[in-house]
């Protein structure tokens, strides 16, 4: 069981003169699933990128802690698993080669046993040695979950997690999310009712537009 927390302190984001959201303060804690909701263009992806240190806020700050340890921005990649439709995959590599390459970039050991378990959970085991260029959009989305979970992160951020997935793919993803809830902190950005039904609390971004 982990003790991970994220604190948002008065986050505000502008793109030029356009306000995306204003004054978001919120505390996320482990063993919970939180939702971030709003219509397309409301700032869901922008907010989760700020939480993951992939983008910066115009005002305010984000504080990550593991127990009492303050996590510095340059260390965050060791603690976060991130899934989104816009993440890049190497089409010229196999699925497993993608994972191995990613592990080398992160500077972590490639755990084949863990990877095989995740390939099996996400119904990709028999396709793990196929080039990713031959994957459907749904298969690529499932592979991104393996990327996110391979290093056993304490914080999982899923931006539109069921994008491009069929019913079987969604069922596999929901099972994984519920399992990760037991130990970790999960944040889901989505406007899909079935995604948000997993969440104990939901931030409605339309409430932070003024």
Domain residue spans in the chain? 4-208
Dist CA 120 CA 152 (whole Å): 16
Q: Given this model, what pLDDT does residue 105 score?
A: 84
DSSP string, 72-129: PGGGGGGTEEEE-TT----TTSBHHHHHHHHHHHHT----HHHHHHHHHHTT-GGGTT
Give residue 136's pLDDT band: very low, low, confident or very high (50, 70, 90). Answer: very high
Residue 1 reports pLDDT greater than 70:
no
CATH topology assigned to domain 4-208: Rossmann fold (3.40.50)
Q: Calculate mean pLDDT across residues 97-104.
A: 93
The Cα-based distances of 3 to 8, 41, 60, 69, 153 in angstroms read 17, 32, 23, 10, 12
The first and second tokens of residue 137, run together, are 């959009």
Give residue 85's pLDDT band: very low, low, confident or very high (50, 70, 90). Answer: confident
Burial class (CB in 10 A: 0-12, 13-18, 19+), 6: buried
Q: Given this model, what pLDDT does residue 22 score?
A: 97
Q: Given this model, what pLDDT does residue 106 score?
A: 80
pTM score > 0.75 for this model? yes
Residue 2 reports pLDDT greater than 80:
no
pLDDT in tens, 186-200: 999 999 999 999 999
Give residue 181's pLDDT band: very low, low, confident or very high (50, 70, 90). Answer: confident
Q: Calculate mean pLDDT across residues 118-140.
A: 96
pLDDT in tens, 28-76: 999 999 999 999 999 999 999 999 999 999 999 999 999 999 999 999 9
Nearest to 157 by CA among 69, 89, 64: 64
């Amino acid at each position: 069981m982990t003790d991970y927390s994220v604190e948002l302190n008065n986050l505000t984001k502008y793109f030029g003169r356009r306000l995306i959201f204003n004054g978001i303060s919120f505390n996320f804690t482990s063993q919970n699933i939180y939702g971030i909701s709003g219509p397309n263009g409301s700032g869901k992806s922008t907010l989760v990128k700020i939480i993951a240190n992939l983008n910066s806020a115009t005002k305010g700050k984000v504080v990550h802690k593991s127990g009492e340890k303050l996590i510095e921005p340059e260390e965050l990649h060791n603690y976060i698993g991130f899934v989104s439709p816009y993440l890049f995959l190497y089409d010229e590599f196999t699925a497993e080669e993608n994972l191995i390459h990613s592990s080398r970039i992160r500077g972590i050991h490639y755990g084949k046993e863990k990877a095989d378990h995740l390939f099996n959970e996400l119904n990709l085991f028999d396709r793990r040695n196929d080039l990713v260029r031959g994957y459907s959009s749904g298969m690529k989305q499932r592979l991104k979950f393996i990327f996110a979970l391979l290093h056993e992160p304490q914080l999982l951020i899923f931006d539109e997690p069921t994008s491009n997935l069929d019913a079987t793919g969604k069922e596999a993803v929901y099972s994984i999310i519920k399992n990760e809830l037991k130990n970790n902190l999960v944040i889901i950005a989505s406007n899909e009712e079935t995604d948000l039904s997993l969440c104990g609390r939901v931030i409605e971004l339309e409430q932070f537009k003024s």
